Amino acid sequence: MTENKHQFRAIKGTRDILPPDSALWNWFEQTARNTLESYNFREIRLPIFEETELFARSIGADSDVVNKEMYTFSTAHDADRKEEGASFQTYSLRPEATASVVRAYIENGMQTLPGNAKLYYVGPMFRRERPQKGRYRQFYQIGAEVLGQSDAPAIDAEVIEMLMIFFKRAGLTRTTLYINSIGDKNCRPPYVELLREELRKLNDEATSVGRLGPDSQRRIETNPLRVLDSKLPEEQPIIAKLPRISDHLCDACREHFSKLKEELTLRGIAYEENWRLVRGLDYYTRTTFEVIAEGLGSQNAVCGGGRYDGLVELLGGLPTKGIGFAIGTDRAILSIQESGKLPQLPALAVFVAWMGPAAYPTAVNITRKLRQAGLAVELPAEEMRFKKSLGLADKLGARYALIIGEDEVTSGTFTLKRLADSDQKKLSEFELLEYLESERRDTRA
C-alpha cells in the first residue's frame, strides 16, 4: 500500500493569519469596534452567503463582480435533489456586505426602530480575482452603514469623522481623504449622457492623446462613469479632457456638497476634492469618499464609501436614505506593518519556572490567580531544568519568570525575575498579584 504524500496547502488567493500577526489583527478590529461603538454603532453579524440575485440587483448584473468574480453554487429547495421538478436556487459567497445589511434591515423591519439604524460588521468577503499585494480572494472588511429617513450632510460628515478617527487610533496617519459629489437622480443622468457623448467623440477622433482600451470602450455604452475609475496610464490624457460632474450639479446637490465640506471643516477633517471619485450604480447619490494610505503601491485605497439613497427601495424596502463605508482590513494592516509603527500588543507576561514535585501545586494555584487577573501566563506541564526553563521563557518573549522551588514553597514567597535586565525580587502572593496587576495597567495605558 503506497503512502499518500500529498501535502495540503491553502487555496490560491487565501492564506493563514498566524501569530503574532493575528494579535495585530485582533487589536485592529477591537480598535475599530471601540471607535464605532463610541458613535453608537452596533454590530450586525451576517451570513457569508446570500441569494445570488441580491448581489446581482445591488452591485449590477452587468458588473465584473457579478459576472466574473463571485463564487456561486446551486442547490435544490427540496431535500431530495433527484426529485422530479425540484426547483434550484443559486447562492453566492458575499463579495461585499452592504447588500446583506440592507436585506437584513428590510427583512427584520428595522425601519420601525427609533432613530437611524447605525450598524457595523467585521468579517470575510470573497471575490475570484487575480491575487496581488494586499488583495486576496478571501479578504476581510470592516464596514459601517447608517440607514434612516435623513440625508443631512452632518450624517455624512460624522461617518467620515468616525472613519478618520479610527485610522488615527490605529496608527494609519499617512492617509489622504478624497471626497466628491456625484449628484442625484435629477442632475446625474444628464451628466452621464454628456459624458457618454464626450467619450464617443474623443475616442472616435483618435487624436494624439490615443484611444481608450477595450474595457473603457465597452463602458462608454454600459456605464460611462466607470471610465473615470481607469488607472491605465495611456487613458489618462483622454480622461483629463472629460467634463466634471461638479460643474453639472443641481442646486440642491451643490448645496449638500457645500454643507458637507463645511461640516468636515468644523470637525477639523482635512480632505481633497477628487472629481473622478464616482460610483457607477444608479442608487448611489451625492457623497462619495475614499481614503488612500502610503506604502501600498497602486493598490493604495484602504477604504471607500458613499451615499446610496436608492438601494433599500431597489431591494424591496420603503424609500430610505443610506450611507456607509468598507475598510479593506488586509491593506490597512499591511500599511501599518510597512510603516514600522506597530502598536504594543499583549504578550506573554509570566513564565512559571517551577522545580520539584512539591512546587507544582503552588505553581498551578498561582497560575490560576494570575490568569484570573487578566495576565497571560505559561505553565510548563512537566518539570524542566532551571537554565532550560529560563531559556524557553526568553524565547517565548515572556516579560517575567516566576521562580518557584522548595525554598519559595517553604517561605511562602515567590521570586519574580524580569528577563530584560535580570532584576529580581522576593514577593508574597499578595505583593506579587498587586505588582503584576499594576504592571498590566501601566502597559495598557
CATH number at residue 369: 3.40.50.800
pLDDT, residue 244, reads: 92
CATH number of the domain to which 91 belongs: 3.30.930.10
pLDDT, residue 184, reads: 92
pLDDT band at 80 (very low <50, low <70, confident <90, very high): very low
- Let me know whether 311 and 240 are in one domain: no
Higher local confidence (pLDDT), 86 or 45: 45
- Let me know whether 72 and 131 are in one domain: yes
pLDDT, residue 201, reads: 85
* Per-residue pLDDT tens digits for 392-444: 999 999 999 999 998 889 898 999 999 999 999 999 999 999 999 887 766 65
pLDDT band at 218 (very low <50, low <70, confident <90, very high): confident
- Let me know whether 300 and 319 are in one domain: yes
Q: Is the pLDDT of residue 77 over 60?
A: no
pLDDT, residue 143, reads: 97
Residue 3 placed within a domain? no
How far apart CA 378 and CA 376 sit, in angstroms, is 7
* Per-residue pLDDT tens digits for 142-159: 999 999 999 999 999 999
| Average pLDDT score over the chain | 89
Based on the structure, what is the number of domains in the chain?
3
How far apart CA 8 and CA 394 sit, in angstroms, is 33
Domain limits at 355?
350-439
Higher local confidence (pLDDT), 242 or 85: 242
- Let me know whether 100 and 77 are in one domain: yes
Torsion of CA 77, 80, 84, 90, to 10 degrees: 30
How far apart CA 341 and CA 291 sit, in angstroms, is 19
Residue 403 placed within a domain? yes
Neighbours of 124 (CB within 10 A): 15
What sign results for the dihedral spanned by CA atoms 420, 424, 425, 428?
Answer: positive
Q: Is 103 helix (H, G, I), strand (E, B) or coil?
A: helix
Q: Is the pLDDT of residue 78 over 80?
A: no
Higher local confidence (pLDDT), 445 or 57: 57
Q: Is the pLDDT of residue 75 over 80?
A: no
- Let me know whether 176 and 224 are in one domain: no
pLDDT, residue 43, reads: 98
- Let me know whether 48 and 75 are in one domain: yes
- Cell 477591537 identifies what position? 30
Q: Is the pLDDT of residue 83 over 60?
A: no
* Final residue of a structural domain among 231, 248, 265: 248
Higher local confidence (pLDDT), 381 or 88: 381
How far apart CA 77 and CA 405 sit, in angstroms, is 66
Please, which residues have CB within 8 angstroms of residue 105's CB and are 6 or more apart in sequence? 111, 117, 119, 147, 312, 317, 320
Exposed, middle or buried by CB within 10 Å (0-12, 13-18, 19+), for 102?
Answer: buried
Residue 195 placed within a domain? yes
pLDDT, residue 232, reads: 86
Residue 345 placed within a domain? no
pLDDT, residue 299, reads: 61
How far apart CA 416 and CA 432 sit, in angstroms, is 8
Q: Report the candidate in 340, 327, 335, 343 with the shortest Cα–Cα distance to residue 134.
A: 335
* Per-residue pLDDT tens digits for 272-302: 999 999 876 778 899 999 999 876 555 688 9
* Per-residue pLDDT tens digits for 28-65: 999 999 999 999 999 999 999 999 999 999 887 777 78
Strand partners, 141: 123, 328
Number of alpha helices (DSSP H) and beta strands (DSSP E) in the chain: 15, 16
**Which stretch of 108-117, 319-328, 333-342, 385-394 has the lowest confidence by average pLDDT?**
333-342
Q: Is the pLDDT of residue 71 over 60?
A: yes
Q: Is the pLDDT of residue 317 over 80?
A: yes
- Let me know whether 38 and 79 are in one domain: yes
Half-sphere exposure of 348 (CA within 13 A, CB side): 21
Highest mean pLDDT, choosing among 175-189, 206-220, 274-288, 340-354: 175-189
pLDDT, residue 206, reads: 57
- Let me know whether 176 and 239 are in one domain: no
* Final residue of a structural domain among 203, 219, 248: 248
- Let me know whether 421 and 283 are in one domain: no
pLDDT, residue 32, reads: 97
Q: Is the pLDDT of residue 124 over 80?
A: yes
